[in-house]
Copies of this chain bind each other. A is one copy, B any other.
Amino acid sequence: MTFALGPNRYGKAENRVVRVHRDTARHGIRDLNVSTQLRGDFTAAHVDGDQSQVLTTDTQKNTAFAYAEQVGVRSPEDYALALGERLLVAAPAATASRVEVEEYPWDRVEVGGVGHDHTFVRRGGEVRTTVVVRERDTPPLVVSGLRDLVLLKTTGSEFRGFLREEYTTLEDAADRILATSLTARWRHGATAPADWDASHDAVRRTCVETFATTYSRALQETLYTMGVAVLRAHPHVAEIDFSAPNKHHVLVDLSPFGVDNPGEVFVATDRPYGLIEARVQREAHECRGHFGEF
C-alpha cells in the first residue's frame, strides 16, 4: 500500500514589520503583519527529510524585514508584490508564493489641532488586508480588502416574508437594527491601480456609503448592492467577496416593568450570529479560485 503527499504549503506567519519613514522631520509609519508561504515540489522534505530545496521559514522572515528596508513600503500591495517575487527567485523548487499583509492604521496625534510630526495614535477598528499570489510566468493575483469594519444602522432595515416551517418562530421585523463586522476582499483585474492606497480608500468608501444609503430588506441584499456599487464605480476590480456576521441587536422587553421600549434599548448579543457570505462578479468574468480561497 502506498500513499501520496497532497496539497501542501509552508512559510512564516505573522511577522510584525514596522517601517518608519524618517527622511524628513515629518515621520511616517506603516505597521504590518506579514505572512509568507511557498508551494511547489517539496516532496523530498516531507517523505525523505531532505531539506536541500527548502527555503526556511527563518529565511522568509529575514527577507520580509530586509525588503521593508530595501524596497520600502509604499503600500501593502507594492511591498507584497516585491516580496513575493523575491521568494520565487530564492526558492527554485517553489511554483508559487503567497504573501499576506495586514496593516494596522495609525493617525497623527493632533496638538492644538495640527498633526504632530512624529507621534501617532493607533486608529483601531478595521484592518486593511492584502493577499498577493505569484505563480511563475503568470500575472500576479492581487486581492485587497479589509476586515473588522463594524457598521450599524439604527433604522432603514427590515426582514420579512421569509419561509416559514415547523421550527420557525421568528416574527417579521419592519424596522430593526442592522449591524455587521464586515470582511471584504476584492480581486484586481489585469490593470492595476496606479496608487494602491487611493484605490483602497475609494473602494472602502463605496462600501460604507452604499451600506448607509441603501434600504435593507436583508443583509444578503445589502451585500449584493454593495458589491454591484463597487464593480460599477471601480473598473479595475474584477470581483468582490463579503463575509458578514449579522451582529444581532435584540430589542429588550421592558413591559414586565411597565416601561415602553420604542426601539431604544437593545442587548447586543455575542453568539450565535447569522453569517452571510457572498461574492459579486462581472458577468463576463470567469470565476477564479474558490470561496474562502482568495
Residues of A within 8 A of B (CB): 1-22, 27, 29, 31, 35, 37, 42, 45-59, 61-63, 65-66, 68-70, 90-91, 106, 109-112, 116, 118-126, 148-156, 159-163, 165-170, 177, 208-209, 211-213, 217-218, 220-221, 223-224, 227-228, 231-232, 239, 241, 245-246, 249, 252, 254, 256-257, 259-283, 287, 290-293
Contact = CB atoms under 8 A, between A and B. Distances in A.
30 contacts: A1-B232, A3-B282, A5-B279, A7-B290, A14-B273, A17-B266, A18-B249, A20-B263, A22-B264, A37-B275, A46-B278, A47-B221, A49-B221, A58-B170, A59-B165, A65-B254, A65-B265, A69-B261, A69-B265, A109-B208, A111-B213, A118-B155, A119-B151, A119-B156, A120-B152, A120-B153, A121-B125, A124-B126, A270-B271, A292-B292
A276 B39 CA distance: 11
A211 B259 contact: no
Nearest to A270: B270
Top 5 A-B residue pairs of the complex, sorted by shortest distance between their CB atoms: A124-B125, A124-B124, A49-B217, A6-B279, A122-B150
B161 A52 contact: yes
Contacts of A256: 62, 169
Contacts of A46: 220-221, 223-224, 278
A154 B287 contact: no
Number of copies: 4
A228 B152 CA distance: 39
B62 A266 contact: no
Contact of A218 (B6, B45, B156, B212): B45
Nearest to A90: B165
A221 B15 CA distance: 24
Contacts of A293: 290-293
A18 B268 contact: yes
Contacts of A47: 221, 224
A269 B276 CA distance: 22
